[in-house]
Amino acid sequence: MFYGVELTSRLMLGTAQYPSPAVLRAAIAASGTQVITVSLRREGAEGARFREIIAEAGCRILPNTAGCHSAREAVTTAQMARELFGTNWIKLEVIGHADTLQPDPFALVEAARILCAEGFEVFPYTTEDLVLGEKLVEAGCRVLMPWGAPIGSGQGLRNVEGLRAMRAHFPDTPLVIDAGIGTPSDAARAMEMGFDAVLLNTAVARAGDPVTMARAFARAVEAGRLGFKAGLMPRRDMAQPSTPVFGMAELG
Residues forming the active site: 91
47 annotated binding-site participant: no
CA 131/CA 160 separation, integer angstroms = 17
**183 labelled ligand-binding:** no
Asked whether residue 88 is marked as a ligand-binding residue, the answer is no
Nearest to 72 by CA among 118, 97, 108: 108
**125, 146, 173, 203 from 169: Cα distances, Å:** 17, 13, 9, 29
Q: Is 202 annotated as a binding residue?
A: yes
Work out the number of other CB atoms within 10 angstroms of the CB of residue 241.
Answer: 6
180 is in an annotated binding site: yes
| 5: DSSP letter | B
The DSSP string of 127-188 is -S-HHHHHHHHHHT-S-BEE-SSSTT-----S-HHHHHHHHHH-TTS-BEEES---SHHHHH
Binding-site residues from annotation for 1-deoxy-D-xylulose 5-phosphate:
152, 179-180, 201-202
Binding-site residues from annotation:
152, 179-180, 201-202
